[in-house]
Amino acid sequence: MTTTPKIDSGIEDFKNDLGKPWRYEEDGYTVTRACAWSAPGCHPVGCGVKLYVNKDGILEKVEGDENQPITQGRLCMRCLTLTDFTYHPDRVIYPMKRAKEDRGKDKWERITWDEAYDIIEENIQGLKEKYGPESIVVFGGTGREGGPMCGPYGAAMIGTPNACYTQSGYACYIPRVAAGTYVAGVTYPEMDYAGGLPGRYDDPMYKIPEVMITWGKEPLPSNGDGFFGHAVIDVMKRGSKLISIDPRSNWLSTRAVYHLQLRPGTDTALGMAMLNIIISEDLYDHDFVDKYCYGFEQLAERVKTMTPEMAAEICDLDVDDIYGATRMYACADNAAILWGLATDQKANGTQSGHTIIALEAITGNLDIPGGQLLGDVSDSLGDLGFGWKELGPELQNKIIGLYEYPAYVGMVLNSHADLTLEAMETGEPYEIHGGFIASTNLLAGTCAAQPKRWHDAMVKLDFVFAADCWITPTIQCCADVILPLATYAERQSMVGTHYGASPNMLGAVVDAVKVGETKGDLEIQYELGCRLNPGTYERFKDFEDFRSEFRLGNLGMSYEELREKVVVQRNVSYKKYETGKLRPDGKPGFNTPTGRVELYSTMYKQFGEDPLPYYEEPQRSPVSTPELMEEYPFVLTTGARTYAYFHSEGKQIPLLREVNPDPLLEMNPKDAEKLGIIDGEWVKVANEFGECQLKAKVTPIVKEGVVHAQHGFWFPEEDGEEPHLFGVWRCNINELIPHKFVGKLGFGAPFKCVICKVEKLNK
Amino acid sequence: MRNGLLIDYEFCTGCQSCEVACQKEHGFEAGTWGIRVLDEGPWEVDAKTMNWNKIPTPTTLCDLCAERTQQGKLPSCVHHCLAAVMKYGPIDELVKEMDKKPNQVMFVPGPYICK
Ligand code: SF4
Ligand code: SF4
Ligand code: SF4
């Protein structure tokens, strides 16, 4: 009998490609082994792929590479359909330009790279001279190499401080990173899934987590931040038990011992109550708290204000489940919290993150096998800060939002999303004239709240260029030049879990095939940077020299060596707070002002935020706005991930579209019955901020009074010209998300907790 | 001995990689499948229990990847399954595997005898 060569099988009498070199010949194909990352967009999981290129130089098929120690041959449907993405007739594979007066029209004309660069240089340099470099904004997205490169695209390539991930309150990842950085001096404590250990789950250093909590995270389809989601299944097969904290039942929560189906946006109340139980029942790790925590007494005082009974009321949970789940987590020998995007997506998100780090710390689960793995001080978000120093203080201080939200803007060196939109609209603090759309489809209900406002601001810009694989609605409405972006099968780069900030693995992205004249983000940054901001790039001999510093930085290996190995697992060590590896000065402890995990955060205090976690209701909710509930009786949560798409990407690929053809609104059968809505019917969803149309999916996975909407839909098969723009406004759930409903530090926005009404379309 | 597919639906996550891997392997267009993941749920057993099983079911087009398995390779669905819950082999061995844990199902695809 044969089965997949997974660690958990044991039966292996079949032919496989274990031990094959990075490139080999087979049955008329040249097969290249590599790690997948962008484009298509995905978190930096770096799943192992074998790229089969035929004699004519065509990528004919993609299979999973069983040599990749984490994914071991497994692939999701998005990489399985890479050939359909690569050769899709709509794909942009040559540079193109369009006259400014033809914006919004399908009047693109093929040009050479030289001409494209000439046009960009002339326009961008002209705007820089006339209005200052700060008048140009780089609009960054997620999931492509251009996402984390948004900062360098701005500071290094163009010479503007204003790189902007346009999601209101940067409500994705960075609030969690901020909690990690400010409270514990680490980037992001990820669940340890033995990704860096040669023996994986059987490695003598490793121990599977006795208990896992998925908290506002659906890791199986999302693979957030490069964590291979199905590792959760791997460890569950080996005995890990699961607690799920999520307003929706997802398939995974049906396999959980406890499913705490809380009201959207109330996570901090739950986190505080859990801390309360652990402290009052003396379930915490005294030794760790004594040696490595700061402010335990103050935290204990604070969480007394949130009894489990109060949290049960606030979160709409059974209090016995809160007790049961908390004890199960705290009493486990080792336990891991997988904390997801949902913790970021509310104004109170920083505090949710704070409670989660505090839980991980006081239970002694930080940096132990099968607990929360910490990156050491030399692991960092690779692209952050490249070119920033060279900007000089005058330009640095012009970054939008620095004075209003220093904890946000100063940490991630991004202009504040909401204030950037306001600057584009009002010309305050100064006018914005140019833009670079770097791998973001921000209008398509992906990241920007109130996308029509962004649209109206972007179409006014004097000059806009873009790098992408597709003419998206965002590009169609305002870009003047498009640079064709390579897939991961067409370029050379590297991928690392958590963008390099987690000690799991690094993999080679390898060019197996040439398609049109596409280029990768690295080449675009270097080539355009040499023209637009030569001072920053003149220290590099050539592109290879630039790449090895920028991308391979502290790896200690050339690209060719990495390519030969395909994957490198990173050295893992535990309890680094004992060995000094968490601090630049090599002293034991954590990289915070007090050297400890600051349960009472001196950094928050310095920024004018409460140093201790507190609960705050979402700005719109049955509790904070009861007067609005008659008109808008539903709590709306949005944006759960699917296997078929990475946010707005993939709608043109028939095998993906078939899996998720229409944007769905999940609603409870009892609510549907009350409104006379039947499964599969199109409905109108609206609130005081906007409206859209979605297809009702009547399902018990959401509680009565809660609806969940899919995001990121546009319709590449429909009319792409203005004003229709591929139907991007019809189903755009982000129209219902308000502008600047952010937390005190500027982080977080209620993508997962507003209110709305639902109506039959033809009432 | 016939060959079959053994699937552990306690851990099948419904990722549908098997569907797409099969479509790509056989060149099937959208609307044609060699295997489909059927949704047995979600429905509430009681206030705290949700029944939800994903049952991947081979269609009449499943040829157990004859071409691949003749070369000694695994069927494409088995190879790519994200949860690693699919096994392929002679049914007597699969039956032994089946005895090891509950919540598994075995399919033995082949031509219909009625036609
Ligand atoms: S998670 Fe899916 S899209 Fe992302 S790299 Fe892996 S197979 Fe590719
Ligand atoms: S065994 Fe082959 S033909 Fe059958 S379902 Fe799996 S991939 Fe399709
Ligand atoms: S690929 Fe595996 S886990 Fe995914 S649906 Fe198919 S059988 Fe289930």
Listing DSSP states for A531-577 in one string gives HH-HHHHTT-SSHHHHHHHHTTGGG-S-HHHHHHHSEEEPP--S-HH
Find residues 45-84 of chain B whose CB sits inside 8 Å of chain A: 48, 50-52, 54, 71-74, 76, 78-84
Region for A280 from its dihedrals, namely left if φ exceeds 0, alpha if ψ lies in -120 to 50, beta otherwise: alpha
Torsion of CA A637, A642, A646, A652, to 10 degrees: -110
- What tokens appear for A43 in the block? 């978190």
Looking at residue A188, its pLDDT comes to 87
Does a cis peptide bond (omega within 30 degrees of 0) precede residue B66? no
In this complex, the residue of A9, A252, A655 whose CB is nearest that of residue B23 is: A655
Query: Is the preceding peptide bond at A21 cis, omega within 30 degrees of 0?
Result: no
| C-alpha–C-alpha distance, residues B65 and A535, integer Å | 57
Strands lying side by side in the sheet with A335-339: A258-260, A241-245, A211-215, A335-339
d(C-alpha A635, C-alpha A621), whole Å = 7
What DSSP designation does A41 have? P
Is the reported ipTM for this assembly greater than 0.90? yes
Domains of chain A with bracketed CATH: 1-87+485-572 (3.30.200.210), 190-373+581-606 (3.40.228.10), 626-760 (2.40.40.20)
Q: Which regions in chain B score pLDDT beneath 50?
A: none
Q: Tell me which DSSP letter residue A626 carries.
A: G
Taking residue A19's Cβ as centre, other Cβ atoms within 10 Å add up to 7
- Interface probe for B, chosen from A18, A65, A259, A658 (most Cβ of B below 10 Å), is A658
Is residue B20 less than 8 Å (CB to CB) from chain A?
A: yes
What B36-40 contacts at long range (C-beta under 8 Å, 24+ apart), as own/partner pairs, is: B37/B12, B39/B14
Q: Give the model's pLDDT for residue A380.
A: 63
- Give A 212-231 residues with CB within 8 A of chain B: 220-221, 230
Answer for the pair A269, A311: CB distance below 8 angstroms, yes or no.
yes
What is the DSSP annotation of A280-301?
A: HTT-S-HHHHHHHEE-HHHHHH
Give the pocket of ligand 3 (CB within 6 Å). Answer: B 7, 12-18, 37, 54, 56, 81-83, 85-86
Q: What is the pLDDT of residue A655?
A: 98
pLDDT given at position A32: 98
Beta-carbon separation of B83 and A75 below 8 A: no
Give this prediction's pTM: 0.97
Atom of ligand 1 nearest to the CA of A78: 3
Neighbours of A206 (CB within 10 A): 18
- Judged by CB atoms closer than 8 Å, whether chains meet at B30 and A657 is answered as yes
Greatest extent of chain B over all pairs of C-alpha atoms, in Å: 50
CA diameter of chain A: 71
A233 close contact with B: CB closer than 8 A: yes
Q: Is A487 in the pocket of ligand 1 (CB under 6 A)?
A: no
Q: Rounded CA gap, A102 and A104, in Å? A: 6
User: What would the 3-class secondary structure string for B47-93 be?
Assistant: CCEEEEEEEEEECCCCCCCHHHHHCCCCCHHHHHCCCCCEEEEEHHH
The residue assigned the tokens 């270097």 is A526
Q: Please give the interface size between A and B, counted as residue pairs whose CB atoms are below 8 Å apart.
A: 133
* CB within 8 Å: A220 and B78: no
Work out the number of other CB atoms within 10 angstroms of the CB of residue A282. Answer: 8
Query: What's the rounded Cα separation, in Å, for the pair B53 and A392?
Result: 58
Report yes or no: A533 and A120 within 8 Å, Cβ to Cβ. no
pLDDT value for A653: 98
Mean pLDDT by 10 residues, chain A (763 residues): 43 78 97 97 96 98 97 97 98 98 98 98 98 98 92 97 97 90 92 95 97 97 95 98 97 98 98 98 98 98 98 98 98 97 94 97 98 83 84 98 96 96 98 97 97 98 98 98 98 88 89 98 97 96 92 84 95 94 95 97 96 98 98 98 98 98 98 98 98 98 98 98 98 98 96 98 77
Ligand (nearest to CA of B10): 3
Contacts of A650 (CB under 8 A, 6+ apart): A40, A78, A85, A644, A656, A657
Chain A segment 70-99 residues within 8 A of B by beta carbon are 72-77, 80-81, 83
User: Domains plus CATH for chain B?
Assistant: 3-107 (3.30.70.20)
Instruction: Kindly report the protein residue whose alpha carbon is nearest to atom 2 of ligand 2.
Output: B65
B101: chain A residues, CB-CB within 8 Å:
none
| pLDDT at residue A11, rounded to an integer | 40
A42 CB near ligand 1 (under 6 Å): yes
Which chain B residues are Cβ-neighbours of A9 within 8 angstroms? Answer: 84, 87
Of A470, A431, A472, A438, residue with least CA distance to A455: A472
pLDDT on residue A2: 45
Which pLDDT score is estimated for A259? 98
Ligand 1 centroid to residue B80 C-alpha, Å: 11
CA distances from A644 to A133, A298, A659, B80 (A): 39, 46, 6, 15
Q: What is the pLDDT of residue A1?
A: 45
CA distance B97 to chain A (A): 10
| Secondary element (H or E) of residue A500 | none
First to last CA, chain A: 58
